[in-house]
Amino acid sequence: MTNISKASISKSSQPLAENKSSVTMHTVDEGSAGQRIDNFLAKILKGVPKSHIYRILRSGEVRVNSKRIDASYKLLMDDIVRVPPIRMSEKTTSAEQKPGQAPRFEKNIVFEDDAMLVIDKPAGFAVHGGSGISRGVIEQLRLERSRAKFLELVHRLDRETSGILMLAKKRAALVALHDAIRNNQTDKRYLMLVHGDWTEKKKRVNLPLQKYVLPSGERRVAVQENGQDSETVFYLRKNFGEFSLLEAQLITGRTHQLRVQLAHLGFPIAGDDKYGDFAVNKAMQKRGLKRMFLHSAETTLRHPVSGEKLKLVAPLPVELERFLKQLETDTHA
C-alpha cells in the first residue's frame, strides 16, 4: 500500500499541483462520483496526452483504494485515487494555454449557465483526444477553465462535423441530459448535402447498424441484419440536380448514423472520406468544398435544471454557405 504520509492529498475538484514529480492522492467527491477513471484523470492531468493516461492505467501505476483498475472503472464516492508522478515533456507543456492567449472556443459559445455549456464546434476538431490526437475540444476547454469543478461531454460529434455540441457543468445536469437523449426528449436537426437527386419531401429511414473494425484498427459502421436499429426522418430542403440539401431529424443517435444510412441509400454525404464517393469528393475539392458537408444546426430540449425550453441554433458555416451559393450559380448557368 502506498504510504499516504509521503504523498500530497487533494480533493478531486482541485487541480493537480504544478510539481508533478511526486505521487498525489485524490479523494473522490460528489462531483466526480460515477465518472470513469480515464475521464477523471484527463480532467485532473490537464495537458497530459490521453495515450500517456492509458499507459499509466495499463501499467498499474494508477490505483483506486490501493487496487489496480482498468480504464472503464467508475469511481465511487470517497474512493482514494493514487496518481503517479507525471513527467511533462517540453513539447507538452508548451502546448498549454499561455497567459493572455485568447481561449480557442470562446467565440463559439452558443449558450452557457451554471449547468450547461454549448458551443458551435468548428469542423476539424475532435471532441476528445485519442487515436493520435493529444487534445480535443473537452481537453482544451478543461485547460482553459482550470477552475471548473466539473466539465463533461453530453454527446459526441464526428471530427469533420460542425455545429451544436453540449457539455455539462454539473453531474446532475449530465445525468438529466443523458436521460433526455435516451428517452427521445430532444429534437436534433442536422443539415447535409448529398450526392444525388433526392425527390421525396419527407422520408423516414430505419436501418440496422453494426460496428466493426478494419484490419488497420479503424472503426467503421455498416448496415447489417443483426445490427442496432437506427431511425432518422429526412426532409428535402433544396434540390440542385446533381446534389440535394437535406435536413435530418435524429430519432436515434447511433455512431455515424446519418453517414451510413445515406451512403446505403445511394446518397453519400458530400466530402465524407469514410463512406462517401471518392471520385465525387475529389472533384468537389477542386470546386472549393474542403470538408464534409454535415452540420448539427439545431437542438431543442428542456433545460436539465430549470425545465425551461431551450432552442440551440448554430448557423451554417461560411464555407458551406459559400459552396451552396456556388451550386446555385452553377445550376442556373
Residue 197: active-site member = no
- How far apart, in whole angstroms, are the C-alpha atoms of residue 194 and residue 307? 36
Give the neighbor-by-neighbor strand order of the sheet with 63-64: 8-11, 24-27, 80-83, 63-64, 67-68
Residue with cell 460496428: 211
CA atoms of 50 and 58, how far apart (whole Å):
12
CA distance 129 to 134: 5
Q: Crossing angle for the helix pair 37-44 and 50-58, nearest 10 degrees?
A: 130
Other beta carbons within 10 angstroms of residue 291's beta carbon come to: 22
DSSP per-residue string spanning 113-151: -SSEEEEEEPTT--SS-BTTBS--HHHHHHHHTTT-S--
Q: How far is CA 44 from CA 53, 61, 106, 189, 210, in A?
A: 11, 16, 21, 34, 35
Annotated active-site residue in 38, 79, 120, 158: 158
Residues annotated as catalytic are 158
